[in-house]
Amino acid sequence: MSSPKQRPLPQSLGLPFTGADSHAHLDDERLLPDLSGMLERAVSSGVSLIVHMFLQHERYAANRNVILEAAAALPKAPDICFARGLHPEDVLHADEEEWERLVEAVKTDPLIRAVGEIGLDYHYEEGYSPSALQEPWFRRQLRLAKELGKPVVIHSRDAWDKVFAILDEEGMRDWPLLWHCFGGDRTRAKQIMERGWHIAFGGASTFKANAEVREALHEVLPERLMLETDCPYLAPQPWRGKTNEPALTVFTAECLASELGMSTEELWTLTGDNARRFFGMEKAQ
Ligand SMILES: [Zn+2]
């Protein structure tokens, strides 16, 4: 985090150690070199749980223990758990070996609490991941999640109707499913709620132009709401354009709490509790 002079630091919000970043990519090249510092800033900002997405076997094999050891070496660290999945943008290079490793990891690693992020991404029309390839991998991973009784984290970009259609066809209604980086309106939020699913709001929901996304918040049941960074991408205001990291989740909380007319602290703890419940990371009593 640079230029702290012009922007408030996340610690300055003084939130309790009860919040969660439900979607992070800590193994990104921009974040990995300062893993310890990033985890310390998360703690001092009130982030008590980070859910990290592992999208490729190679990265999982290389970084799983690096992340856990960095946390273990600190006097106080957020709890960390993982999701493991094949991202729609990676399917072109996926083969049976990658699949077998994914299945093995989801079956055997107790810290992998969900299959994700998986879904469809039609943002690049002439992309390197043709839609005809994305769909079968998406369905295969949904079936794996059902077979193993795992929650699912959904990535959907420019593919709303198709993602809903596939999820309905695969019988995902009322399955523990988290719609990551929600960017829709009230109607989309309603469709997600009707199906019994959860929604995570990220930094983009704080951008001035995204009033529609903030309005959709009013359709979300309190117990189904989560916060996320999707770091290193999409830092919330007032850090927009900078490298995102878990500590900055507090600014999304502040913005959304004001939209909902509740205190930031209340929303912080509510969404943190929701993430813990969803990913099976409840604190020991
Ligand atoms: Zn992501």
The band of 100, judged by pLDDT with boundaries at 50, 70 and 90, is very high
Q: pLDDT-derived band of residue 6, with 50, 70 and 90 as boundaries?
A: confident
- 2 has pLDDT over 60: no
Alpha carbon of 155 to ligand 1 centroid (Å): 7
d(CA 17, CA 97): 40
Instruction: Annotate 77-113 with DSSP letters as a single string.
Output: --EEEEEE---GGGGGG--HHHHHHHHHHHHH-TTEE
Do residues 278 and 226 touch, judged by C-beta distance below 8 A?
Answer: yes
pLDDT band for position 13 (cuts 50, 70, 90): very high
pLDDT at 236: 97
**Domains, the chain, ordered by start:** 17-278 (3.20.20.140)
* Bridge partners, 47 (sequence order): 19
**Tokens 């012009």, residue located:** 6
Q: For residue 11, report the distance from its CA to the centre of ligand 1, in Å.
A: 24
Give the list of residues 6+ apart from residue 194 with CB closer than 8 angstroms, or none. none
CA of 194 to the centre of ligand 1 (A): 24
The pLDDT score that the predictor gives to residue 259 is 97
pLDDT in tens, 224-283: 999 999 999 999 999 999 999 999 999 999 999 999 999 999 999 999 999 999 999 998
Residue 1 is encoded by which pair of tokens?
């985090």
**Amino acid 5: pLDDT:** 61
- The band of 68, judged by pLDDT with boundaries at 50, 70 and 90, is very high
Compute, in angstroms, the gap from residue 36 CA to the centroid of ligand 1: 21
Report pTM: 0.96
Q: How far is the CA of 44 from the centre of ligand 1 (A)?
A: 24
- Measured distance between the N- and C-terminal CA atoms of the chain, rounded to whole angstroms: 35
Give the tokens for residue 180: 């990551």
Predicted confidence at residue 132, as pLDDT, reads: 86
Centre of ligand 1 from the C-alpha of residue 133, in Å:
19
Task: Name the residues around ion ligand 1, CB cutoff 5 A.
Answer: 230
Taking Cα atoms as reference points, which of 274, 248, 249, 271 lies closest to residue 260? 271
How many Å lie between the centroid of ligand 1 and the Cα of residue 285? Answer: 31
- Gap between the Cα atoms of 80 and 24, Å rounded: 10
